[in-house]
Every structure is written in C-alpha cells, then in structure tokens.
Amino acid sequence: MATDRENAVFEAAIKLGALYHQFVGTPISRSTAGTVEAAIESAVSLQPYVTYIEVHLDRSPMNENPFGYSELTGAMYHVIIETKFVDAICRAQLKFEDGYPMMKILE
C-alpha cells in the first residue's frame, strides 16, 4: 500500500505530465500568454489534491507566424504545483533545463 507521501508525489507528477501534454501546441502570443497562464492554473486547480499551482510561460520564444501567433512548447513552461494527500504535501516543478522540459520533486 502506498504511503500518503507517495500518493502526494504521484498526484503532483501525474498532473504535471497531463498539463504538459494537454497544452503543448496551444495557439499563443505574447499578448495572450497571461490569459493562457490563468486558464492552465484554473483548469489544473480543479483537480483533486491540488492545493497550489503557479504557471509562468517564457514569452521570449513566442515568435509570431504570419497569422499573428505561435504555439506553446515545452521550452516555455515554468510551473510550480503543490498537492496534498491526507497530511503529506508535495511541491514539484516543470521547467525547461538543459534543453529538456524537466519535471522534479522540490519538497
């Protein structure tokens, strides 16, 4: 049987993985990035065990195509999430590091 700590870690990890794959490819521009950040936070915060989420998208790689937008990529993400399972809390991160969108447990 999994411990509360293991369940808190699992919940954080599965939510980061789902968040990553759900939103990559979303049409985005520098002018709409704040709205997309808020939408991701709102959507993920509805899920069970999520107690905190903060999404920042790096706007520097948002180069507009001829139609005025680009697509959200893994390189743009910086996400902090906290999950709580019973009394155990996990703080995890999704951040582009060394050319890869890394997910890791912070606490």
Q: What is the pLDDT of residues 50-62, one digit of tens each?
A: 999 999 999 999 9
- Kindly indicate the confidence band of residue 11, based on its pLDDT and cuts at 50, 70 and 90: very high
- Kindly indicate the confidence band of residue 48, based on its pLDDT and cuts at 50, 70 and 90: very high
Q: How far is CA 92 from CA 4, 5, 16, 77, 85, in A?
A: 16, 13, 8, 13, 14
With 0.95 as the threshold, say if the pTM is over it.
Answer: no
Structural domains of the chain in order of their starting residue, each with its CATH number: 4-62+69-105 (3.30.1300.20)
- Kindly indicate the confidence band of residue 90, based on its pLDDT and cuts at 50, 70 and 90: very high
Helices (H) and strands (E) in the chain, counts: 2, 6
Across-strand partners of 91? Answer: 82
Query: 24 burial class (0-12, 13-18, 19+ CB within 10 angstroms)?
Result: middle
Q: What share of the chain is helix, strand, coil (3-state, %, to 5)?
A: 35, 35, 30
- Does residue 49 carry a pLDDT above 90? yes
Q: What is the pLDDT of residue 64?
A: 85
Say whether 84 sits in a helix, a strand or coil: strand
